[in-house]
Amino acid sequence: MNRGGKRPPTVEELELWTKVTETVTPFDQQRLPVSEAPPQPPAPPAKLKPAKKTPPPAAAASPKPAVRRPPPTLSLMDRRTRSRLSRGVTSIDMRIDLHGLTQATAEARLKRFLHDAQEGDARMVLVITGKGAADGGERGVLRRMVPHWLSAADMRAVVVGFEEASRSHGGAGALYVRVRRLR
């Protein structure tokens, strides 16, 4: 038994391989020539010497990529906190209204607002996006984009999690955002 090395294929395996290759069409849609008779396996050599492994040249060695830790995951709001917010028992520290802004302006203002909220030690903020255009235009651009911006890797240091607001705070047109504490 040859440990760790490859054994030559048997005659049966070569016949099977020939049958398989006859039924397959290559990606470039050209048939590859198939030999008529299966090749005979080579005779085993009397005695093999272990091959010397040559180290790869230093120039070809690629540096190991830096290990990156994944950003913290976003957490959902627990039921108790959500209930306290909707009833008004827990207050919202800050709020921002993004109605009528372009995507670029809204994204810049939202990020600045969240950094300011974090520096101001706010824990819960309300981001009002609106439900979208009612005039038949593209519906809810900010409503769709704000969750993407909040879950981006660069915002994980600021945002703990977010969730759709209750009806009393705007429902589907607003988001509760939990802000991460500064360390």
**DSSP states along 121-183:** T--EEEEE--S--SSSSS--HHHHHHHHHHTSGGGTTTEEEEEEPPGGGTGGGEEEEEEPPP-
Query: Lowest-pLDDT range, 20-29, 60-69, 73-82?
Result: 60-69
What sign does the dihedral 158-125-113-102 (CA atoms) show?
A: positive
Residue of 115 and 182 predicted with greater confidence: 115
What sign does the dihedral 165-119-150-69 (CA atoms) show?
A: negative
Residue 156: CB partners within 8 Å, gap ≥ 6? 71, 72, 74
Give the pLDDT of residue 8.
85
- Confidence class for position 87, pLDDT limits 50, 70, 90: confident
The answer to whether the beta carbons of residues 97 and 128 sit under 8 Å apart is yes
Residue 169: CB partners within 8 Å, gap ≥ 6? 85, 86, 92, 126, 176
- Confidence class for position 101, pLDDT limits 50, 70, 90: confident
- Confidence class for position 71, pLDDT limits 50, 70, 90: low
Give the pLDDT of residue 108.
92
Burial of residue 74 (number of CB atoms within 10 Å: 0-12, 13-18, 19+): middle
Residue of 55 and 123 predicted with greater confidence: 123
The answer to whether the beta carbons of residues 124 and 178 sit under 8 Å apart is yes
Q: Residue 178: beta bridge partners?
A: 124, 161
Give the pLDDT of residue 32.
52
CATH value of 79-179 in 3.30.1370.110, 3.30.70.270, 3.10.450.50, 3.40.50.300: 3.30.1370.110
- Confidence class for position 135, pLDDT limits 50, 70, 90: low
| Sheet bearing 124-128, strands edge to edge | 94-97, 124-128, 174-179, 159-164
Q: Sketch the domain layout of the chain as residue ranges.
A: 9-41, 79-179
- Helix or strand or coil: residue 23? coil
What sign does the dihedral 171-111-109-121 (CA atoms) show?
A: positive
